[in-house]
Amino acid sequence: MEHIVIIGNGISGVTLARHIRKLSDKKITIISAETDYFFSRTAIMYVYMGHMKFEHTQPYENWFWKKNRIELLKAYVQEVDTDNKVVQFADGGHLNYDKLIIATGSKPNKFGWPGQDLDGVIGMYHKQDLDRLEVLAPNNKVCNRAVIVGGGLIGIELAEMLNSRKIPITFLVREDSFWNGVLPKGESQMINNHIKNHHIDLRLSTNLKEIKSDENGRVTSVILEETGEELACNVVGLTAGVTPNIDFLKSSKIELGRGVKVNRFLETNIKDVFAIGDCAEQHEAIGNRRPIEAVWYTGRMMGETLAQTICSNRIEYKPGHWFNSAKFLDIEYQTYGWVFAKPKDYETHFHWKHHKEDICITAAFHKDTNEFLGINTFGIRMRHEIFDKWLTEKRDMNHVISYLKDANFDPEFYKVYESDILKQYNTTFNTNLTSQKKSWKRIFSKT
C-alpha cells in the first residue's frame, strides 16, 4: 500500500489527508511537532480571550483520525532525504514514504531587530505562542504594557486579545495608515480610528529599533526608530507578517525560494514530493494572487486539489475568484474580487461610507468597460455565491449596484443600505439606476 506522509497537521495537510481518504485506501501519516490533533489556528485568539477552550478549536473529535485510518505522529522532522525517500526526526527516528507532502505552514517574521529572541518576545501563530502568552500576560498586573510590532491581521488580532484582558497596548505600524498596502485610504483610516477608539496606542509610521532586557534576559522596554523614545513593556509581539516554515529542508535537494518552489500541480522539483499551503511558493503568481498565499482557504483548496493528483487524477491548482475576510476588533471585513489599495490605471473606485457607523464599501470597476472588478465591505456581510457569479459573468458595475440587495448576507431584520449606496452612486456617476428587489430565484439560480 502506498504510504503518503504529510508533514504538518494544519488545514492544508488535514484537508489533503481527508480527501485522499475519501478517494483511496492509501496509508496516510500526518506528522506534527506542534499539537497532537488538528486545531484551527485562526481561533487561538478566542482561547486567550475566554470565548472558547482550546478543545473547541479542534474541528474533529479525537476518534475521527483512527476511524478514518489517518495516523498521527508527534515528531519534529529534522531532515528529508529524497534519494532514499525517508524523513529523519529530531529524536533520531525516521519514517519512509512513497509520497511526501510538505505542509508546514509559516513562522513569524523577524527582521533582525536587536533583542528579537529575548524572553518576553513572541509571535502569535503556534499553539506554543498561545501557551506562552498566557504565562507572560495573564492580566494587566503581570503585564503592564505590551508592544505589538507590525500592522497586519495577526497584529490587530493580538491587540484585540490583549485588550480583552485590559492590558495597555502600544501598536507600532510601519505604514502611515493601518494595512494600507491592502486597504484603500478611506477604509484604512476608518480602521485607524476604530483601533484608537478601543484605547489602543496606535503609532503609525513607527518602526522598532531595538528590544531591551534586564539582566535575566526578560524584556523591559523597546526603543523606537524614529524618535528614539523608550517604552517600558513586559511583552513584545512580533506580527510583521509570516514566512514559510521550511528551514529543515535546507539540507535537502528540494528547490527552495522563500517557500518550497512548486509548479501549478503543486509538485516540487523532486518526484513524489509536493508542497501545499502557506509554505508553498508558486514559480509564477497565479493572476493577481501572490506566489506565496498565507491564507486559510487557499491552504484548504490546495489540499482539495492535490488529493486528486495523488489519487491518479493529476490536476492543476486553479483557484477561482479571489475572496477573503477578516475582523478588525468589532468590524467585519469581507472582500470579493480585487480592489487595490492604490487603484491600477484601469481601475475606478466607488466608496460609500455610513455617516455615523463604521460601515462602508469600496467597489472597483474598469474605467472604460465599467466591468465590476471587486468589492470590499466593512460592517455589511455579502453573499459569496453572488459575487462569485457576477465576477464569472463579468457583470458591469451598474448591474452590481442595481442588484446589490441580492448580495446582502446580513442577519434578518438588519438595517439595509443598498438604497443609500445606489443613491450616492447615481449622484457620483450621473447615472439613473433603480434598486432591484431581492429575488430568491436569482440568488439560488445556479447559472
For the beta sheet containing 3-7, the strands, ordered from the edge strand earlier in sequence to the opposite edge, are 70-74, 27-32, 3-7, 99-102, 273-275
CA pair distance 150, 179, nearest whole angstrom: 9
Query: What is the distance between the alpha carbons of residues 222 and 234, in angstroms, rounded to a whole number?
Result: 10
The nearer residue to other proteins, 162 or 256, going by C-beta atoms, is 162
Contact 131, 124 (CB under 8 A): no
CB 148 within 8 A of CB 169: yes
The helix/strand/coil state of 174 is: coil
Closest CA to 118 of 134, 132, 105: 132
* Spatial distance between the Cα atoms of 127 and 26, rounded to a whole number of angstroms: 29
Under rule CB under 8 A, residue 22 binds other proteins: yes
Distance between CA atoms of residues 427 and 191, nearest Å: 26
**According to CB under 8 A, which one of 128, 197, 205, 227 is a site residue for other proteins?**
197
* CB 5 to other proteins: min, Å: 23
267 touching other proteins, by CB under 8 A? no
Is residue 309 near other proteins by the rule CB under 8 A?
no
Query: How far apart are CB 427 and other proteins at their closest, in Å?
Result: 28
**Binder among 413, 432, 434, 437 for other proteins (CB under 8 A):** 413
Question: In this complex, which beta carbon is closest to other proteins, that of residue 204 or of residue 315?
Answer: 315
**Which one of residues 111, 251, 346, 414 is an interface residue with other proteins (CB under 8 A)?**
414
Q: How far apart are CA 388 and CA 393, in angstroms?
A: 9
User: Quick one: CA dihedral 127, 131, 134, 135, positive or negative?
Assistant: negative
Q: How far is the CB of 43 from other proteins (least distance, A)?
A: 4
CB 384 → other proteins: shortest distance, Å?
Answer: 3
Binding mask 27-66 for other proteins (x = CB under 8 A): -------------x-xx--xx-xxxxx--xxxx-x-----
Minimum CB distance to other proteins, residue 116 (Å): 28
CB burial class (10 A; 0-12, 13-18, 19+) of residue 107? middle
Residue 120 CB, nearest approach to other proteins (Å): 22
Stretch 341-380: interaction string toward other proteins, x if CB under 8 A? ----------------------------------------
Nearest by Cα to 254 from 272, 238, 242:
272
Q: Which residues bind other proteins (CB under 8 A)?
A: 11, 19, 22, 40, 42-43, 46-47, 49-53, 56-59, 61, 164, 197-198, 296-297, 300-301, 304-305, 308, 315-321, 323, 325-327, 329-330, 332, 334, 381-385, 388, 392, 409-415, 440-441, 443-444, 446
